[in-house]
Amino acid sequence: MVWSFTIADQDIKKKFKISQLAYMGGDHGGAHASILMLPNGYYAVGIINSNDMSSYSLRG
């Protein structure tokens, strides 16, 4: 998988004890998806089917 960029903020440092998380998002045909790489080999995945939100708005 190719990661789009990383996100970093105080909540990430506080909750995960790391400075940033890898993020990937995409939009296709009205559907939007985001994937965050979490510590310890876990991933958070968000998928919506709405024109009211973009994949970027799913990240947090």
For residues 33 and 58, the answer to whether their CB atoms sit within 8 Å is yes
Between 15 and 57, name the one with better pLDDT.
15
For residue 15, which phi and psi values (nearest 5 degrees)?
-80, -35
Q: What is the pLDDT of residue 60?
A: 54
Q: Is the pLDDT of residue 33 over 70?
A: yes
Domain boundaries, the chain: 5-58
Between 16 and 54, name the one with better pLDDT.
16
What proportion of the chain, given as a percentage, has pLDDT over 70?
82
